[in-house]
Amino acid sequence: MKYLINTSTDPYFNLAFDEYCLENIVSDEPYFFLWRNRPSVIIGLNQNAYGEVNLDYLNSHGITLARRVTGGGAVYHDLQNMNYTIVGKNPTPQIFVDALRKLGLNAETTGRNDIFVDGKKVSGYARRVSRNQEIIHGTLMYDVDIETLTQVLDVPGSKLQSKGIASVKSRVTNLKDYLPQFASLDELQAALQDILSGGDSRMEFTSEQEAAVAEMARTKFATWDFIYGKSHEADFVHKAKLPCGTVEAHISTYKGLVTGISFSGDYLFDSPSEELASVLTGVRYDRSAIAEALSGTDVSRFFRGTAAEEFITFLTTDSQ
């Protein structure tokens, strides 16, 4: 199978690379490329960024959030995870499963879109069709930081948390211990490259094409509108002890905007909170946008003794 080389670890560039290939490099015969991302969480096209990811943890640990153009759930990537992409007419993940079997692994596709080894998940994949061809891309966990993986996807009320962190840890596994013949992911990736290519040649990817991918990454994949603005409807409840008393905020969002907000609790106030809620309705649900909307507003009128900065932190940080 012919192949491309992509050495970038920028998740925005890499997701743009996938889409560019699907939309612009038409091939009757499937081709592939292997790639990695720096620490990042990649959410599916139809997911709500606020409801699927622990954004507080991401922000405090410098982990990138990105959205892909395929469906499925949120996944954590780091440099000890390898990703694969297969593009063409009627591609199949079985090609990748067969490559893993050649390395001695008891690999099989199972569930909705997963690859298992000895009953544990090591890979998930997603697909998309465009212009009479298809893309399949997925992960391969080699020595991923499982603790970070569980933290970034641990969101109150989320599907992940409802199943319990322990069940997630027992359900996924790294391949490092299954492949002692490889000293590193670099060695494993090189071996998979050889098996999948089967002696076929490397495809050319020009500097002009690379520039087009970089532009797509900048104008689409790295933008707030794509990452957050495509989020479907979701509701959140934040609760905290503020100087005014205990406050509970009920927040509704759609496409990254606050569509409704109300407050309850035993807090003290001088003016009803509905006035403040009207100021926030229609605002982007992120810290900087909320801060801008509240500039010039005396928050302590609505939540006695509470400074604007403290109130903004309460609204944008899960404190439960």
Which strands sit side by side in the sheet containing 107-110, from one edge to the other? Answer: 2-3, 31-35, 81-88, 133-141, 120-130, 114-117, 107-110
**Predicted confidence (pLDDT) per residue in 145-190, tens digit:** 999 998 998 875 444 443 333 334 347 889 998 999 999 999 999 9
Q: Which residue has the higher pLDDT, 318 or 315?
A: 315
Q: How confident is the model at residue 320, as a pLDDT?
A: 46
Three-state SS for 252?
Answer: strand
Rounded Cα distance between 156 and 270, Å, is 32
- By the 8 A CB rule, do 284 and 224 touch? yes
Mean pLDDT value across residues 51-72: 89
What are 22's two structure tokens?
Answer: 């699907």
3-state DSSP of 127-181: EEEECCEEEEEEEEECCCCHHHHHHHCCCCCCHHHHHCHHHHHHHECCCHHHCCC
* pLDDT > 90: percent of the chain: 58
Q: Mean pLDDT, the chain, as a whole number? A: 88
- By the 8 A CB rule, do 37 and 83 touch? yes
The H or E element containing residue 275 is helix 273-280
pLDDT at 73 over 90: no
**Predicted confidence (pLDDT) per residue in 26-61, tens digit:** 888 899 999 999 999 999 887 878 777 888 899 899
pLDDT interval class at 72 (50, 70, 90): confident
pLDDT at 215 over 50: yes
* pLDDT > 70: percent of the chain: 93
Taking the CA atoms of residue 126, residue 128, residue 133 and residue 136 in that order, the dihedral angle to the nearest 10 degrees is: -10
Give the domain ranges of the chain.
Answer: 2-227, 234-316
**Predicted confidence (pLDDT) per residue in 231-286, tens digit:** 777 787 888 899 998 888 888 888 889 999 999 888 888 888 888 999 999 999 98
Kindly report the CATH number that applies to the domain delimited by 2-227: 3.30.930.10
Q: How confident is the model at residue 28, as a pLDDT?
A: 82
Mean pLDDT value across residues 111-115: 79
Q: How confident is the model at residue 162, as a pLDDT?
A: 35
Mean pLDDT value across residues 69-77: 88
- By the 8 A CB rule, do 27 and 16 touch? no
The single-letter code of the amino acid at 149 is L
What are 283's two structure tokens?
Answer: 């605002």
Rounded Cα distance between 242 and 35, Å, is 46
Class for domain 234-316, per CATH?
alpha beta
DSSP annotation of 286: S
